A = this chain, B = another copy of it.
Amino acid sequence: MDLEALDAMQKPASRRRGERTRTIPEQIADHVSNAIVNGEYRGGERIREQELATLYGVSRGPVREAIRTLQERGLVNFFPRRGAYVVEITLDTIVEVFNVRAVLMGLAARDLARRKDTEFLADLRTGIVEAQVLARARTTPPQHFARAIARLGGMVAARCSNKHLSRLLRDQLEHTLWGIIWRTRPLDFLTPQRQAAAVREWQKLGAAIAAADDSAAEMLLRRIFFNARDAAIKTLQKARREKISAIGIIRD
């Protein structure tokens, strides 16, 4: 793979305006992040600099910078002179990340409820309706529904007024452990019943935000994540029982 191909992969449509050019180390970091998140590496697997360098057709310099980024994102454990190793993720870790994500998203919801952002509310309702349509059409694959729900979460994260929080939810979690965990959701726990329940939860949240009930909004969004957490864990435990390797990076 050369850099042109990598670059094209990273920005499907020509680069959105206002977006600054992405450096090679950033492209490599994001690409490897995605690879890790997609389970293309095993937990504990070593990452060799020269390997990535030849893979992307660059020297080791940019690769080293990319690895620093991965280290800071918590996707690899780095040992001086001994290399970088892909993190191993246990069920406990997943619960931890869900809990952190839940309270942060709760803060975002509280923020959005406090200020009457009618434009956001309209977009949120549109998104909820989209999810509802997908949930009612039983033929759509659960991945589509999962994506719709993910968009709702992304909306809350991006549109809250706390820019520091937005950044944290995006950079520190989107491309990191949260990305990995997200991949575990659409396995098979999104039953039609669960989908309908999820839609109801988001509708309640929309109502709370519309009513400017910040405490209720916070608790509702938390509850949404706790439910997702429990469902994901149940799915993974089931996969473990049935000896199904859920996803490369997660320790069986």
Interface residues of A (CB under 8 A from B): 20-23, 25, 61, 64-65, 68-69, 71-74, 79-80, 93, 96-97, 99-100, 103-104, 106-107, 162-165, 167-168, 171-172, 177
**Chain A contact residues: helix, strand, loop or mixed:** helix
Contacts of A177 in B (CB 8 A): 164
- With both beta carbons as reference points, the residue of chain B lying nearest to A96 in the complex is identified as B164
Bound-complex Cα distance A29 to B21 (A): 24
Question: Beyond A79-B20, A164-B177, is A107–B96 a contact (Cβ under 8 Å)?
Answer: no
Contacts of A74 in B (CB 8 A): 167
Chain B proximity of A85: nearest CB distance (Å): 13
Copies of this chain: 2
Bound-complex Cα distance A93 to B104 (A): 16
Bound-complex Cα distance A97 to B99 (A): 19
Residue A73 contacts which of B65, B72, B103 (CB distance < 8 angstroms)?
B72
Contacts of A61 in B (CB 8 A): 61, 64
Question: Beyond A20-B80, A61-B61, is A68–B99 a contact (Cβ under 8 Å)?
Answer: no
| Contact in complex: B107, A99 (CB < 8 Å) | yes
Contacts of A167 in B (CB 8 A): 74
A-B residue pairs in contact (CB < 8 Å), sample of 29? A20-B79, A22-B80, A23-B80, A25-B68, A61-B64, A64-B65, A65-B68, A68-B68, A68-B69, A69-B71, A69-B72, A72-B73, A72-B171, A74-B167, A93-B164, A96-B162, A96-B163, A96-B165, A99-B165, A100-B104, A100-B107, A100-B164, A100-B165, A100-B168, A103-B103, A103-B104, A103-B107, A164-B177, A172-B172
Bound-complex Cα distance A69 to B72 (A): 7
- With both beta carbons as reference points, the residue of chain B lying nearest to A161 in the complex is identified as B96
- With both beta carbons as reference points, the residue of chain B lying nearest to A172 in the complex is identified as B172
Bound-complex Cα distance A72 to B103 (A): 22
Bound-complex Cα distance A61 to B103 (A): 39
Q: Which 6 A-B pairs have the closest CB atoms?
A: A72-B72, A96-B164, A68-B68, A96-B162, A103-B107, A23-B80
